[in-house]
Structure 1
């Protein structure tokens, strides 16, 4: 079936809660994807960093097939032989003491909100119903009702209220604002090490280290949402490593399965996760053997195939090449690892969407965010020749824009 026919069906029968580029993909391998007409594109979004290991990685695929032939789901009413191994391997890799498995990133965030509040009441002594969690403006932590309630994106919130109380919003990257906002009822500070959906907003150097100091001094849980930044995207296993800190709770997802299956996790310690008792939290699919086998393989290839170091090296090279673009439309180019943004001036014809559409015509798929910013986040297996080819297309698009 052709692109136009499939788009017509999608528009007719699907809810219009996304505005995708008009390309219909049917196949992927490594950094490349193909549409239904057989045209090839370089994927520079990586499913919002869910396919860090590249599309359809053969070793992750084999783990999926092998496990699917044996056992896929038991629920947590019974034990399975894959979950304990994922617990051990993930905790050892991330230097965590405990892990709680979920499915989507948003579920992991909802889980950590519950855990932080429970810790506040049972360990810190906050009065029941008064727990407060500090978050940042321009955050993105998911799409559930509680999460959008503390979003500052009007489009995400409009006509979805009333919202869950118990959140205080402060500016991102401002440690003094965090310190000033903490009260005796504050149980946690939830923050992204780098704000991805906001347009790859990188905080000032030393910010996370100062946050760690404040949270320790004030007896407040430091929660890092590494669902997008984690598992190699920034050139480290976890973005917190850039400043040598460790959060009390860390959230990972997306690339935890290499794009094969929804898997997420809350990483923490006995002091927090040990407070959960049977029946107080769970998920039918969370920790299922298929998910665990896939996640184990995804983590293994990430480390064994040197993808994290490659992300650091190729990210630096890509950023260097992009910064050589001298164009009046470009306001700023910023990035860390293979998490890169090109921000345009607000008078640029067509905005970021127009450039993404032009890049699509030249075989590169990327996505705009907030009208004026283009994100480049290819799989971590990208090579220097791949980047050189991509830069040719990017330069041509900007040259045509100038014309």
Structure 2
């Protein structure tokens, strides 16, 4: 993928963490200041941390989509537009592809790919199913250090830096460079250079094709068969909001409500396309908080994403379900729990009542200007309503098959 000296994906993450400048330019020379140019004109990205280096903007990275590495330009473009809604992001990518005029093409990330990439670049996650590990990490060579060669100096990147958690102090790196390298069990068994065992696959293929795959019963009889099985990570559950302007919950205020327990009016100028909400579901995973993905529409959904939908907020307007997997509300709420949020004292719309008991109707106190005396006195009820909603979601998730380490394969 990336060259052994410089890993573009790791450099980008470290630069973001340090807040250092990343400059798109047409020059590979880092010794003199250069002016920043638009992405369609740029040939290199200049990094200033942890070392000053220029990387070709079309260099492939360890992020893999559809079994193909994604180039640095597409990764950096997705990061610059991380706050942009999905439709606007796709439009900007199409515009950039037009400006490139066939010289290159910006990769358009799928919904979950974009979420995993942004989460990893921000440092909120240390792993991603779409990012291949650096050379040597799988066989334990990650415990060593890798030299990052630049035009001006050499900086050692420690094992923690390989995972994106920082770099060694330059003075300490200079001391390490003068040390006598001692062998460890990894170098004794495998040598100092990575060994390519890809040729063994061709030799082993005829034998593996005739070897029956281990079944559940064989694993129970021989637990050692399961030692090399990579555990699958449980996917994040998804909550769908109503995109209606009359909805009391929108992307701008849903996090404060469901995570903070306080209702505030929505900001209709918000352009966020997805959010993450943390919530501990005690009856599913009492030790860790679960991460919920909140979106307003299923436009970027793959078919399997619907198995992860745990709640649909609705105002009762049928057009909301036009692009859903089940466009008929009666069919939809047989598979997914519905939630209606209205003002206390107001009756739910007739359409919501017709959906039946599968839609949980909740109400909050009407919003009043905090400057009005007594306006804050009724807001304590908000948390009571939030707990009622989460209790219903958790009960529905348990019934659908959500577990600490597993999610339902169909709903």
Give the TM-score of the pair, scaled to structure 1: 0.26
Larger radius of gyration: 2
* Larger helix fraction of residues: 1
Give the TM-score of the pair, scaled to structure 2: 0.26
